[in-house]
Amino acid sequence: MGAGAYRHHVPASVDAIIQRGEFLTSYTPYQPEIAQGTLQYLFEFQTQVAMLTGMDVANASMYDAATAAVEAVQMANRVTRRGKTILSGAVHPHYRETIETHGKFSGFEVVSLAPNLDGLAGIEAKLDAKTASVVVQYPNVFGRLQDLTALAAACQKAGALLIVAIPEIVSMGAVTPPGDMGADIVVAEGQSIGNALNFGGPYVGLFAAKEKYVRQMPGRLCGETVDADGKRGWVLTLSTREQHIRREKATSNICTNSGLCALAFTVHLSLLGETGLRRLAGLNHALATTLEAKLAKVKGVRLLTDAYFNEFAIELPRDAGDVVEALADKGVLAGVPGSRLWPDDASMAKTLIVAVTETNTVEDMDLFAAKLAEVL
């Protein structure tokens, strides 16, 4: 249904490979002499994440995008020695609430802007000498794609770090990565590649940053080395986590990575390759534009998102929540109403967020448009 959870096709080969004994039974990579397989795939995973996001270095996964976003904010606080973060009005409310909860109990200030389609509006005016970081989403929660270059420059001038959250990692097969626009830290949800929806989890958080900040990164980082015989090998290069004695001095108190989910991600992306990922991303966007054209013909529907990947927002002539319920009764999952994400904001009542992936057919879209017209 979108808004941070996307139904993509996962090849059967992914499930077959991750259930092989050498992967499924391996766990903690602290002893490199018996964990070379685990360490190698995590090393490859890091490489893939860095390439996708356009960043220098990536860690060996987090829980999900929301907790990765919190870790990015706390990392920015350490780097800048400041304690204020500004959240765009187009950051997913689940990400925002997770950051606000940690801010409340960890003692850093969170300035959350009101929901708005232009996710960059009002941010620069809030930048000051106390600001450690700015968090934006790309594509934003309304599906909108925006150039972040100017905001990155403004953050740099103010001494703050720009954190970019990516809810749909498949989009990186088609759009400019945040690293190429000046992002300091990039977090993302990796569920779209290799991991089915599974009724809400487990997901896999991606985390990447500029190399100069590597020692402040949370979680663990695998590196390449050579063994006593000069053969290529892998080890945990950085891993300052709470179970490594540091306790409250640790860079992170997340005590595990999503190892099997990260493996599924790496296997699926390896099978796709760069050409396959680009084709998959192109297909997603093409199908989304097809649906947009069909919905635009429905009386009373107005498109709200001007540039998007595979997800966009529309405005309906009446309450979107009621329309979603009525369509569900007709066997159609229409999307996520704004009232579900912002229950206390009346301005979002008529907003509906719609997502399309390669699993949707043109026949699905025709049915959706016809039923929507019928309900309206």
Cβ within 8 Å of residue 34, ≥6 positions away: none
- Assign domain 12-269 to a CATH class: alpha beta
> What pLDDT is recorded for position 12?
97
Q: What tens digit of pLDDT does each residue of 52-62 get?
A: 999 999 999 99
Size of the chain, expressed as the number of residues it contains:
376
Give the closest residue to 347 by CA, choosing from 320, 374, 307.
320
Residue 178 has pLDDT above 90, yes or no: yes
Residue with more model confidence, 303 or 255? 303
Per-residue confidence band for 284, with pLDDT thresholds at 50, 70 and 90: very high
Quickly state the pLDDT bin for 151 (edges 50, 70, 90): very high
pLDDT tens digit sequence for 18-32: 999 878 776 677 788
DSSP SS3 for 185? strand
Say if 12-269 and 275-375 have the same CATH topology.
no
Whether the Cβ atoms of residue 348 and residue 339 lie closer than 8 Å to each other: yes
Which of the two residues, 255 and 102, has the higher pLDDT score? 102
Domain residue spans in the chain? Answer: 12-269, 275-375
Indicate whether 287 pLDDT > 80.
yes
Record the pTM. 0.96
Q: From 3.30.1490.20, 3.40.1280.10, 3.40.50.2300, 3.90.1150.10, which CATH number describes the 275-375 domain? A: 3.90.1150.10
What mean pLDDT do residues 234-248 have?
70
End-to-end CA distance of the chain: 20
**Which of 192, 187, 193 minimizes the C-alpha distance to 166?**
187
| pLDDT tens, position by position, 114-131 | 999 999 999 999 999 999
Mean predicted lDDT score pLDDT of the chain: 94
Side chain identity, residue 282: G
